[in-house]
Chain A
Amino acid sequence: MVKPGLADAATMNYEVVIGLEVHAQLLTRSKMFCGCPTTFGAAPNTQTCPVCLGMPGVLPVINRRAIEFGVKTALAFGCRVNAACRFARKHYYYPDMPKNFQISQYEEPLAEEGWLDIDVAGRMKRIGIQRLHLEEDVGKLVHEGTLETAQASLVDYNRAGVPLMETVSKPEIGSPEEAAIYLKAFRAVLVYLGVCDGDMEKGSLRCDANISLRERGAKELGTKVEIKNLNSFRNVQHALEFEVRRQARALDAGEPIVQETRLWDADHGSTRSMRSKEFAHDYRYFPEPDLVPLELEQSFIAEARAGLPELPRAQRQRFVSQYGLPPYDADVLTQSRALAEYFEAAVRAFPNAKVVSNWVMSELLRVLPGDDETAIRETRITPSRLAGLLKLVDDGTISGKIAKDVFEKMLRSGDDAASIVEREGLTQVADTGALERIVDEVLAANPKPVDDFKKGKDAAKGALVGLVMKATQGKANPGLVNRILEQKLSKR
């Protein structure tokens, strides 16, 4: 077992070339070629029909929304949409494939030649996207045991026929870390477009990688190895890091790299070879005769383009430039469209971006996942309510500390800040006269800290502030308390 660690000296001699193939399940309500629902988690074989079961006599019919989602995604990645495209049959035998061919796209895919800009160590890098096409997903296989030891396997066809969008990047990713960044950025775009929920654990976003090494300066690409079973950003990075080391060591030792498919084993932290296939698959592609070709109208494409939202990277940049936010904040706030919209709505009502950002990041995201669009849109602490709370702090009605309590109460009760403050009498004590009296009382009752302070122990002042706050049940305006205390202490 090779422990992950710092880059070996060996790997420095080589240039790493990585391409990523991402499969995304589209958020359509029905399957790609039939009307079965696509909801996750149904009992096995309850979301099937003769079509997606590949029964004798059935025929596919294209889901228009899947095409829309594909076009939208293609446009978001700057691809050239092939208005004339068609589906093709891809043949291979496997029990999760009901027809033993998959309806996919081959020579005429939906889109080609796009890109995705990613941020690597503060610099922008553009990764090319070779092609984007649509196809149908296959069923789920469960082995009675492990793949190696099972005597039988079980098949559930609920997933068979769900629309899948396959995107192939150009081999322009230069490191395992870059690969993870690409995947994150890629996923963010899909989630922003609302075409995929990006859940890698559930398998609605899957990734395979192709990786090869070549000597620095060499022109030809090395032998590429396909890595499968990468179901998280971390696994993508670790698997590729392992592969880089494995291939570098082999090349150093003069061993040839076998062109094969390897599976990432997260438990062991290594990739292992699937039995290498003697022949590459002969998929015997030919145009799907049961579907007629697509000739997408310009208006169809234009409509998709008009419906594109602001994309994550552009939005991040705008948050920095327009609101003057640090990149870290922009990053957090744009993790989902809903959160970004929340932030902007709150800023419209309370125009101090950094304050809003702080509150969203520290308080809102403590109770809501930032990428849960529904939760964010449905929270009781609406942007305007948050703004209402922040106004009360800003105009001194309540202190920041009290505000945090109010926030909790707003969440629980669904009431707005002003009502809660009034109901519970949380209004900050800012009456100078009243505060002066209380400060006098505290100073009189606590001679020692006063003494300590005079002797130069500044910390004692903090203790006095604390006592004043206690005396006012936390409602005193801290700024004011500080000023009055200082004033009075200086007179003593």
Chain B
Amino acid sequence: MISDKDVEHVARLARLALTESERARMREQLSAILQYIDKLKAIDVEGVEPTSHAVPLVNVMRDDEPGPCLPQSDALANAPDRAGEFFRVPRIIED
């Protein structure tokens, strides 16, 4: 139901490095799950609005008042790699 190519493509979209055996197992399991989910195709959803929010709330906003920030040390405390005041990441190669 879902091809090898699909699995590869989705893994790239999700930034997940899968081993070959993982890809194969993923293909199997995802196919089975998607097959199960297919039962939804039988339902008539003509004219039905999607529920994107479980609460009927609208217009929740806040005033434009500046508030306290984290001290720089807290912001950087969990950084796997840092250079002084910055977070540091490996070189970026355009995809």
Interface residues of A (CB under 8 A from B): 28-30, 34-38, 43-50, 53, 61-67, 93-95, 141-143, 147, 150-157, 274-275, 277, 282, 284, 286-287, 289, 291-296
Q: Which of B60, B67, B89 contacts A155 (CB 8 A)?
A: B89
Using A155-B88, A275-B94 as known contacts, list a sample of 6 further A-B pairs with CB atoms less than 8 Å apart, ordered by residue number in A. Answer: A48-B70, A53-B70, A53-B75, A151-B90, A154-B86, A277-B94
CB-CB nearest 10 A-B residue pairs:
A35-B67, A154-B86, A65-B64, A44-B85, A64-B61, A37-B66, A292-B57, A155-B87, A275-B94, A287-B52
In the complex, what residues of A have CB within 8 A of residue B17's CB? Answer: none
* Given A61-B61, A154-B83, A95-B66 contact (CB < 8 Å): no
* Given A28-B64, A35-B65, A50-B70, A292-B59 contact (CB < 8 Å): yes
In the complex, what residues of A have CB within 8 A of residue B49's CB? Answer: none
B53 to chain A, nearest CB (A): 6
Is there contact, CB below 8 Å, between A274 and B64? no
* Given A152-B90, A289-B52, A292-B53, A36-B69 contact (CB < 8 Å): yes
Q: Which of A29, A67, A154 contacts B65 (CB 8 A)?
A: A29
Is there contact, CB below 8 Å, between A156 and B85? yes
B70 to chain A, nearest CB (A): 5
A284 to chain B, nearest CB (A): 8
Is there contact, CB below 8 Å, between B53 and A293? yes
| Closest chain A residue to B52, Cβ basis | A287
Within 8 A of A (CB), among B73-95: 75-76, 83, 85-92, 94-95
A468 to chain B, nearest CB (A): 64
Q: Is B72 an interface residue (CB 8 A)?
A: yes
Is there contact, CB below 8 Å, between B60 and A292? yes
Give the interface size class of chain B.
Answer: 20 to 34
Q: Looking at chain B's contact residues, is the secondary structure mostly helix, strand, loop, or mixed?
A: loop
In the complex, what residues of A have CB within 8 A of residue B92's CB? Answer: 94-95, 141, 143, 147, 150, 153
Is there contact, CB below 8 Å, between A43 and B66? no
* Given A45-B87, A142-B86, A61-B62 contact (CB < 8 Å): yes
In the complex, what residues of A have CB within 8 A of residue B52's CB? Answer: 286-287, 289
Is there contact, CB below 8 Å, between B58 and A292? yes
Q: Is B63 an interface residue (CB 8 A)?
A: yes
A178 to chain B, nearest CB (A): 31
Please report the number of residue pairs spanning A and B whose Cβ atoms sit closer than 8 angstroms. 127
What CA separation (Å) do A295 and B88 show in the bound complex?
A: 41
B13 to chain A, nearest CB (A): 6
| Closest chain A residue to B10, Cβ basis | A282
In the complex, what residues of B have CB within 8 A of residue A143's CB? Answer: 92
In the complex, what residues of A have CB within 8 A of residue B66's CB? Answer: 29-30, 35-38
B51 to chain A, nearest CB (A): 10
What CA separation (Å) do A287 and B72 show in the bound complex?
A: 32
What CA separation (Å) do A143 and B89 show in the bound complex?
A: 10
What CA separation (Å) do A109 and B38 show in the bound complex?
A: 32
| Closest chain B residue to A61, Cβ basis | B62
Q: Is B55 an interface residue (CB 8 A)?
A: yes
Q: Looking at chain A's contact residues, is the secondary structure mostly helix, strand, loop, or mixed?
A: loop
Q: Which of B57, B65, B88 contacts A152 (CB 8 A)?
A: B88
What CA separation (Å) do A45 and B88 show in the bound complex?
A: 12
What CA separation (Å) do A153 and B91 show in the bound complex?
A: 6
In the complex, what residues of A have CB within 8 A of residue B89's CB? Answer: 95, 152-155
In the complex, what residues of B have CB within 8 A of residue A35's CB? Answer: 62, 65-68
Query: Could you list some 27 contacts between A and B, CB below 8 A?
Result: A29-B65, A30-B67, A35-B67, A36-B67, A37-B66, A43-B85, A44-B85, A61-B61, A61-B62, A64-B61, A64-B64, A65-B64, A66-B64, A95-B92, A141-B92, A142-B86, A151-B91, A153-B91, A154-B88, A155-B86, A277-B94, A287-B52, A287-B53, A292-B57, A292-B59, A294-B58, A296-B59
In the complex, what residues of A have CB within 8 A of residue B57's CB? Answer: 292
What CA separation (Å) do A44 and B70 show in the bound complex?
A: 12
B83 to chain A, nearest CB (A): 6
Is there contact, CB below 8 Å, between B75 and A294? no
Q: Is B15 an interface residue (CB 8 A)?
A: yes
* Given A29-B66, A45-B86, A50-B70, A62-B61 contact (CB < 8 Å): yes
In the complex, what residues of B have CB within 8 A of residue A50's CB? Answer: 70
In the complex, what residues of A have CB within 8 A of residue B91's CB? Answer: 150-153
Is there contact, CB below 8 Å, between B58 and A44? no
* Given A150-B91, A292-B55, A45-B64 contact (CB < 8 Å): no
B10 to chain A, nearest CB (A): 10
Q: Which of A35, A62, A93, A289 has the most CB of B within 10 A?
A: A35
In the complex, what residues of A have CB within 8 A of residue B53's CB? Answer: 287, 289, 292-293
In the complex, what residues of A have CB within 8 A of residue B69's CB? Answer: 36-37, 46-49
| Closest chain A residue to B58, Cβ basis | A295
In the complex, what residues of B have CB within 8 A of residue A289's CB? Answer: 52-53
What CA separation (Å) do A194 and B68 show in the bound complex?
A: 25
What CA separation (Å) do A46 and B75 show in the bound complex?
A: 8
Q: Which of A63, A93, A147 contacts B62 (CB 8 A)?
A: A63
A329 to chain B, nearest CB (A): 37
In the complex, what residues of A have CB within 8 A of residue B65's CB? Answer: 29-30, 35
A291 to chain B, nearest CB (A): 8
* Given A43-B85, A152-B91, A287-B52, A62-B70 contact (CB < 8 Å): no
